[in-house]
């Protein structure tokens, strides 16, 4: 279907600092991304989502926005952005931008004006200032309140450099309506909405019995006002090109929850068109657990017209190779079996791309990059690391610049000698160049899978044993992922396999079959 392309699209996530550097300063930018556009076209993705590239002190990698309607000079200019959108369109690739509505940067002029204007001012009412803090804790560690010179405190669910907007002040939704129109008018196909379950806080700001941050419904997350709010954004999205491609413009909300049921309120007609499904990567490599996640996720989406894109990785979580290889989050002495993790991550890729609906692929996932776990502390950039005194390692390990070519650092990422986060010395075999030349590489697996993945069609489970995930997608297409220790018989014509089929389908291997 031409309209509502996003219902079963593969979208590639670019973390701009780490994708490709065109300016030679060791940090990625639009010039670099433009030069790598043929790579994305060759991979076969239908859209690119850019994590924030707006003017920012980069205290949280750009999720601290100082100006929502411009490009940070380190990433280029608005003209460079436009050039990327136009060139991408030439390849049939759409662009999605990241909207950060829960908070801005403390460098944003509105927050600076609020500091200047003092207690009780209309400027302060754009944020959440109080004379006393409550007991809420920041998602990134430490208290969620910071005191300013005149004694008042402001709320920040994330870093102290990220003050939360007061969404109960009508000026805030009015400002964000202008922001989303600004980008939609520039021709973007969609919005990724950061911390979409945040924004509105309980107006009483009550103390809570357990102030530890959590993604469950709380006085700060999943408030009922969000439903009407996203209906208003949906109306704006649908007002673009209504006669040509109704529903062409989309938005995907970053809704975290600790249970799938926490997302239920967003699955209703006329609201946010898409809600990320993070439960796949939160589920252990266990067939029963994965089946349960897939069944409940499909059930939720089936009852509404909302799409819940599948995800096994993004810029906030440990890379799949490391996760599936036994490495938990945040430990320094990770005991990772990279070979095992790689085998499972490749199988997970075929699972991801066979499931019904849309899938998001985070840059480097298609290269099977592992998490970089030995970044020296002096280079660690994530506020999560700094706010917890290093107790949580943070997310730098999945944000290391992409290796493009060559046998040594910086692997074609930049003309500079070094990159903003140091790359490992072991990535020579993982570069794009090396993997393009290897028919069995993870890159070629992704490329073939994106080209051959089932579109449309139904979904039905097949019973091949407790430790096996097996389902059909109609038209004789079957996906089988073997998590059992036994090698399984392969029945049908093999379209694609995640690893060698040695007398059958071995453990931790997936296969796509046509019967
Ligand atoms: O993430 C929202 C969020 O809640 C994450 O902190 C998530 O819970 C955590 O990373 C899981 O490990 C978004 C962005 O994706 C993230 O990069 C930003 O740091 C955050 O918002 C603040 O803008």
pLDDT over 60 at 329, yes or no: no
Give the whole-angstrom CA distance, residue 246 versus residue 239. Answer: 8
Q: What is the average pLDDT value for the chain, to the nearest integer? A: 95
| CA Rg value for the chain | 23
What's the first-to-final CA gap in the chain, in angstroms? Answer: 26
Residue 328: pLDDT band with limits 50, 70, 90: low
Select from 49, 97, 194 the residue to mutate for testing ligand 1; criterion: most ligand atoms less than 8 Å from CB: 194
Q: Which atom of ligand 1 is nearest to the CA of 315?
A: 17
Q: What is the pTM of this model?
A: 0.97
Give the whole-angstrom CA distance, residue 352 versus residue 278. Answer: 12
Q: Which residue has a Cα nearest atom 18 of ligand 1?
A: 63
Residue 96: strand pairing partners: 49, 190
Give residue 44 CA to ligand 1 midpoint distance, Å. 28
Give the whole-angstrom CA distance, residue 464 versus residue 300. Answer: 25
Select from 16, 53, 140, 158 the residue to mutate for testing ligand 1; criterion: most ligand atoms less than 8 Å from CB: 158
Q: Which residue has a Cα nearest atom 10 of ligand 1?
A: 316
Tell me the two tokens of residue 297.
């996720």
Over residues 268-319, the pLDDT tens digits come to: 999 999 999 999 989 999 999 999 999 999 998 888 889 999 999 999 999 9
- The stretches of 381-481 forming alpha helices (DSSP H) are 383-387, 432-436, 442-452
Give the whole-angstrom CA distance, residue 385 versus residue 65. Answer: 20
Q: Residue 100 in 3-state DSSP?
A: coil
pLDDT over 60 at 331, yes or no: no
Q: List, chain by chain if needed, residues with CB within 6 Å of any ligand 1 atom.
A: 60, 63, 100, 139, 158, 194-195, 254, 256, 315-317
Residue 336: strand pairing partners: none
Q: Which atom of ligand 1 is nearest to the CA of 157?
A: 22
Give residue 406 CA to ligand 1 midpoint distance, Å. 33
pLDDT computed for residue 2 by the predictor: 45
Q: Which residue has a Cα nearest atom 9 of ligand 1?
A: 316
Q: Which residue has a Cα nearest atom 2 of ligand 1?
A: 195
Over residues 433-473, the pLDDT tens digits come to: 999 999 999 999 999 999 999 998 899 999 999 999 999 99
Give residue 491 CA to ligand 1 midpoint distance, Å. 43
Over residues 85-110, the pLDDT tens digits come to: 999 999 999 999 999 999 999 999 99
Nearest to 286 by CA among 330, 336, 323: 323
Over residues 20-43, the pLDDT tens digits come to: 999 999 999 999 999 999 999 999
Nearest to 190 by CA among 272, 298, 114: 272
pLDDT computed for residue 245 by the predictor: 63
Give residue 11 CA to ligand 1 midpoint distance, Å. 19
Select from 59, 66, 139, 279 the residue to mutate for testing ligand 1; criterion: most ligand atoms less than 8 Å from CB: 139
Q: Which atom of ligand 1 is nearest to the CA of 317?
A: 12
pLDDT over 70 at 333, yes or no: no
Residue 166: pLDDT band with limits 50, 70, 90: very high
pLDDT computed for residue 142 by the predictor: 94
Give the whole-angstrom CA distance, residue 166 versus residue 329. Answer: 32
pLDDT computed for residue 330 by the predictor: 42
Catalytic sites, residue numbers: 194, 254
Determine how β-strand 153-155 pairs with β-strand 145-147.
antiparallel
Give residue 444 CA to ligand 1 midpoint distance, Å. 30
Percentage of the chain beyond pLDDT 70 is: 97
Residue 326: pLDDT band with limits 50, 70, 90: confident
Is the bond preceding residue 410 a cis peptide, omega within 30 degrees?
yes
DSSP per-residue string spanning 37-53: HHHHHHHT-SEEEEPP-
Give residue 277 CA to ligand 1 midpoint distance, Å. 14
pLDDT over 70 at 1, yes or no: no
Percentage of the chain beyond pLDDT 90 is: 90
Query: Do you know the residue count of the chain?
Result: 515
Q: Which residue has a Cα nearest atom 5 of ligand 1?
A: 316
Q: Which residue has a Cα nearest atom 6 of ligand 1?
A: 139
Residue 243: pLDDT band with limits 50, 70, 90: low
Select from 59, 101, 195 the residue to mutate for testing ligand 1; criterion: most ligand atoms less than 8 Å from CB: 195
Over residues 336-370, the pLDDT tens digits come to: 899 999 999 999 999 999 999 999 999 999 999 99
Q: Which residue has a Cα nearest atom 1 of ligand 1?
A: 195
Give the whole-angstrom CA distance, residue 503 versus residue 489. Answer: 8
pLDDT over 80 at 402, yes or no: yes
Residue 204: pLDDT band with limits 50, 70, 90: very high
Give residue 100 CA to ligand 1 midpoint distance, Å. 11
Give residue 116 CA to ligand 1 midpoint distance, Å. 29
């Amino acid at each position: 279907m031409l309209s509502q392309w996003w219902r079963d699209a593969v979208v590639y996530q670019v973390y701009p600092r780490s994708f490709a550097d065109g300016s030679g300063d060791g940090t990625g930018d639009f010039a670099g991304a433009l030069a790598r556009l043929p790579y994305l076209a060759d991979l076969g993705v239908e859209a690119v989502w850019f994590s924030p590239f707006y003017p920012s002190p980069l205290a949280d990698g750009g999720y601290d926005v100082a100006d929502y309607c411009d490009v940070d000079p380190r990433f280029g200019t608005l003209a460079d952005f436009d050039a990327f959108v136009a060139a991408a369109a030439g390849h049939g690739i759409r662009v999605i931008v990241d909207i950060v509505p829960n908070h801005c940067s403390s460098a944003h002029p509105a927050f600076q004006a609020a500091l200047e204007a003092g207690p009780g001012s209309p400027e302060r009412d754009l944020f959440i200032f109080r004379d006393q803090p409550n007991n809420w804790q920041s998602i990134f560690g430490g208290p969620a309140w910071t005191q300013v010179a005149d004694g008042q405190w402001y709320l920040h669910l994330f870093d102290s450099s990220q003050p939360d907007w007061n969404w109960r002040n009508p000026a805030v939704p009015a400002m964000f309506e202008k922001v989303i129109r600004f980008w939609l008018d520039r021709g973007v196909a969609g919005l990724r909405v950061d911390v979409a379950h945040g924004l509105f806080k309980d107006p009483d700001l009550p103390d809570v019995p357990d102030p530890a941050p959590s993604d469950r419904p709380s006085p700060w997350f999943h408030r009922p006002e969000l439903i009407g709010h996203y209906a208003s954004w949906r109306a704006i999205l649908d007002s673009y090109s209504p006669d040509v491609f109704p529903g062409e413009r989309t938005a995907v909300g970053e809704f975290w929850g600790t249970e799938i049921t926490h997302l239920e309120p967003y699955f209703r007609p006329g609201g946010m068109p898409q809600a990320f499904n993070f439960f796949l990567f939160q589920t252990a490599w266990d067939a029963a657990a994965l089946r349960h996640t897939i069944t409940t996720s499909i059930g939720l989406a089936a009852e509404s017209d909302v799409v819940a894109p599948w995800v096994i990785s993004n810029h906030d979580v440990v890379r799949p190779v490391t996760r599936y290889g036994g490495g938990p989050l945040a430990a320094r002495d990770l005991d990772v079996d990279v070979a095992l993790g790689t085998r499972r991550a490749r199988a997970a890729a075929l699972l991801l791309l066979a499931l019904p609906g849309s899938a998001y692929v985070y840059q480097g996932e298609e290269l099977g990059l592992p998490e970089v776990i030995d970044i020296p502390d002096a280079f660690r950039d994530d506020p999560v690391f700094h706010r917890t005194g290093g107790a949580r390692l943070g997310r730098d390990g999945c944000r290391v610049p992409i290796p493009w070519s060559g046998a040594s650092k910086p692997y074609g990422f930049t003309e500079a000698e070094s990159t903003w986060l140091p790359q490992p010395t072991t990535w020579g075999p993982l570069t794009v160049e090396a993997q393009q030349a290897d028919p069995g590489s993870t890159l070629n697996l992704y490329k073939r899978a994106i080209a051959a993945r089932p579109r449309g069609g139904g979904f039905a489970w097949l019973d091949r044993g407790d430790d096996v995930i097996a389902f059909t997608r109609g038209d004789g297409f079957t996906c089988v992922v073997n998590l059992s220790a036994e090698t399984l018989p392969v029945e049908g014509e093999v379209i694609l396999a995640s690893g060698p089929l040695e007398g059958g389908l071995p453990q931790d291997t997936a296969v796509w079959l046509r019967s």
